[in-house]
Structure 1
Amino acid sequence: MTRPLRVVAVPASHPYVRRVTADDAITLSHDPRPDGAGPGVWWPPVALDAAWIRAHADEADLLHVHFGTESFDVEHLIAAVDAAHDAGWAVVQTVHDLDHPQLADDEQAPYRAQLDALLPRVDAVLTLTAGAAAEIARRWGVEATVVPHPRLLDPRTTAATAPIGLAGDQRLIGLHLKDLRPGVDGPGATAALIAAVERLRSGGLAVAAEVRLHRSVRDEAARDDVRRLCATSEAVSLVEHDRLDDTALAAGLARLDACVLPYRHGTHSGWLELCWDLGVPVVAPDTGHYADQHDDPTVTSARFDDDGAALAEALERVLREGARPGTTHRRDIITARLADRARVDAGVVRSHVAVYRAVLAHPRIRPTPSGHPIESAASPARPAERTTA
């Protein structure tokens, strides 16, 4: 019997990473704990370090980088990849973000420099959408394997037990700003939503909106602007609350007729995936590749202009195509989507195993900064099965 592939994933504890590597063919190393950190703390990623890799060279076959590169400078990351190659490991990177959601607009240059250094250097690149793969090919000349985002709804939740909310007299649109991280445009998204709701109401559609915000935020000035904006509209309510656990979050989203994503920049959205699992239509901003995550009329994008015209049009469209909370139709959508998730997610796991085996089995020649070629592993370019639900 072939032994399992020993993978150091960065970070191994992330739910996304756990789900895409859930196969007997893969043994996932535990996240090493930073010095002095308490249980469950894995940040910054200790394993993304040349010295750590050299010390554990005999314990793994492959390094897979997902999140956490922003904790280091470019030289540190190059040294880590080189150490992995010197140890005989292959290196795979999943590009979740082409623009980093945890960084402000004026902080993106160092992150992009990391992508410039790493993507041509690693042995295989994965990403979540065809649109992102096309951008990677255009910017770096690298062909990325497309693997769709897996299900985010709690694995214990079935189609029968998933929350579906209750329909109110008015259609309810949600905007969740959470803690106002740098990639979220709280005031801009709120202003666009207020204008869009007023347009929809003036057109005869009974609609209201709910803006949600954590009590503890990163940008207090933006929070104050959101409070002021919400106070100007009778149709938009502001709810400030502590961070929700997974159950409360799913129940809150299930109440919605549609959800608006508040991103100023970014690439892909796990929030969109959770809404998808729950049958909640989504309107994303026309940036990144959010609308590529699902080919479905209840997932779309629009410009978030101050007049709200484009957002109102997009909301009207997804509200027409979607199912109201609390209905049999909403339950039927969830049932179909979770069944599709089971099929596609199994394909995503198989794709990871296939990529890992390919890069380990087929050495190729890769350039070094000095121009001298050395052996590395071949990067497969076959896309994974994608959902069309």
Structure 2
Amino acid sequence: MPDSAPAVSGPLRIAAVPAAHPYVQNLVDAGSGGTIHGVTLLTDPQPVGAAAGQWWPPVMLDPRWIARNADSFDVLHLHFGTESFSLGHLAEVVDALRSADRPLVFTVHDLTNPQLVDQAAHLAQLELLVNAADEVITLTEGAADQVRARWAREATVIAHPRLAALPAPAPTHAASLAGSGAPVQDAVGPSGAPVQDAALTIGVHLRDLRPNIDALGAIDTLLTAVGTLRESGFDLAVRVDLNDRVRDEAVRRELRTRLEGVGFVRLLEHPRFSDDELSAALLATDVSVMPYAHGTHSGWLELCWDLGVAVAAPDVGFYSEQHPVRGEVATYERGSADSLARTLLELLEPFTLAGAGARAARRAQLRLERAAFRIEQQRGIHAAHLAVYRRALAGVRV
């Protein structure tokens, strides 16, 4: 930053893009009016014509907005939303920040964009933003290594914040979508009767079939892995969630065909879950399998961790570094049913000798323990961000 960057007294005013995203909201203490450790978040301006609460495309990522509003913020911190803009537009945003003497902090959440198949545009944006940023943040050491190798920048590693509310909700293992208010369509077994819950449930949520979800490949791998374990005597069922509005109707039809008549599978098609409905759905499973073909970090994984639900993650990105303690997150070789079966065995081991009530009690205790950990962790996350913002304002580039 130029030497003319103003000294700041009072709380630092952060133009976070987007401020309304759950990740960003949990960087501040919700009980403190949006201010903690001397940081205040600006509210997202609403895009013209957008529904209430919609932050995208982010209004603050605009050179004209920056020029008009430079006196209202001290640092612009970019997280998400760049796919809404061209590379040239983002270059103009960088130039506008420099003209206004306002530093740019950029968190590298995604080295590959889960919303895209062709990564060329995303990689070009990373090239621009990582090089232009006054400070770079990422979530894991593995991602920081990639940033260093690609762009010779040192990224500050700051852990992902909590996503579940504190205290986390605590429905029992028997909680069902019928109690969550979300309409569902159950798959049926060969006799036409609804599939019954087994002692242990493996869940996979295919969401809206966004580009990084390998729906058919993940389902084939999961069904084979669970089938093998069932043949070995494990009482397992599979729960497959799918949004009612998807990006690929042909894949939806193929999924219905493949799952029809599989007695240990329940297919639930429903509107996009609210936060509470999603938590209830996850708590109705013992392990959540992530069906991703590519990715870097995962908020889904963090929510599961907060709720005490074990996670089987594919060996892509740096999911395993988010929570490396054995038994919390385990990785499997993408496309390998044998690997997934071994991963499920590892994750299910603490539950195999416990009844449903004991498992629910154990998960409730995990939620309490993890909530306490998150409260302490949040202090470090807040302090680390404040230090980054202060370095950016001081013009100390690393």
TM above 0.5, yes or no, is yes
TM-score (norm 2): 0.86
One-letter amino acid of the structure 2 residue matched with residue 11 of structure 1: P
Given that 1:163 and 1:278 are in contact with CA atoms closer than 8 Å, whether structure 2 keeps it comes out as no
Residues in 1 aligned to 2:158 and 2:57: alpha-carbon distance in whole angstroms: 26
One-letter amino acid of the structure 1 residue matched with residue 24 of structure 2: V
Deviates more, 1:21-30 or 1:43-52: 21-30
Deviation at 1:322, TM superposition (A): 5.6
Deviation at 1:232, TM superposition (A): 5.4
Residues in 2 aligned to 1:224 and 1:196: alpha-carbon distance in whole angstroms: 22
Which digits, 9 at most, give the CA deviation of each residue in 1:217-252, with x for residues without a partner? 111111122112212532222111122212221111
1:149 is matched with 160
- Determine whether 1:260 maps to 2:293: no
Deviation at 1:170, TM superposition (A): 2.4
SS in structure 1 at match of 2:131: coil
- Determine whether 1:93 maps to 2:106: yes
SS in structure 2 at match of 1:36: coil
Deviation at 1:343, TM superposition (A): 0.7
Residues in 1 aligned to 2:387 and 2:350: alpha-carbon distance in whole angstroms: 37
Mapping of residues 11-30 of structure 1, within 5 Å: 11-22=18-29, 23-24=35-36, 25-30=38-43
Given that 1:291 and 1:300 are in contact with CA atoms closer than 8 Å, whether structure 2 keeps it comes out as yes
Deviation at 1:315, TM superposition (A): 0.6
1:163 is matched with 171
Q: Percent identity?
A: 46
1:223 is matched with 252
Please, which runs of 5 or more residues in structure 1 have no aligned partner?
Answer: 364-376, 380-389
Given that 2:282 and 2:304 are in contact with CA atoms closer than 8 Å, whether structure 1 keeps it comes out as yes
2:211 is matched with 182
Which digits, 9 at most, give the CA deviation of each residue in 1:307-333, with x for residues without a partner? 611111111111114686543322222
- Determine whether 1:6 maps to 2:25: no
Given that 1:176 and 1:211 are in contact with CA atoms closer than 8 Å, whether structure 2 keeps it comes out as yes
TM-score (norm 1): 0.88
Given that 1:194 and 1:233 are in contact with CA atoms closer than 8 Å, whether structure 2 keeps it comes out as no
Deviates more, 1:13-22 or 1:336-345: 13-22
Residues in 2 aligned to 1:162 and 1:198: alpha-carbon distance in whole angstroms: 30
SS in structure 1 at match of 2:106: strand
One-letter amino acid of the structure 2 residue matched with residue 57 of structure 1: A
RMSD of the TM alignment (CA)?
A: 1.8
Deviation at 1:163, TM superposition (A): 2.7
One-letter amino acid of the structure 1 residue matched with residue 220 of structure 2: A
One-letter amino acid of the structure 2 residue matched with residue 113 of structure 1: A
Which digits, 9 at most, give the CA deviation of each residue in 1:127-174, with x for residues without a partner? 11111111111111111111111111123x35xx52342496521100
Residues in 2 aligned to 1:38 and 1:333: alpha-carbon distance in whole angstroms: 37
- Determine whether 1:312 maps to 2:341: yes
2:44 is matched with 31
Q: 2:70 aligned to 51, 54, 57, which one?
A: 57
Which digits, 9 at most, give the CA deviation of each residue in 1:7-53, with x for residues without a partner? 11111111211211343311211212222334222211111111211
Q: 1:83 aligned to 89, 96, 107, which one?
A: 96
Q: CA distance change for structure 1 residues 141 and 98 in 2, over 3 Å: closer, same or farther?
A: same
Residues in 2 aligned to 1:52 and 1:2: alpha-carbon distance in whole angstroms: 23
Please, which runs of 5 or more residues in structure 2 have no aligned partner?
Answer: 1-7, 30-34, 176-196
Residues in 1 aligned to 2:105 and 2:174: alpha-carbon distance in whole angstroms: 44
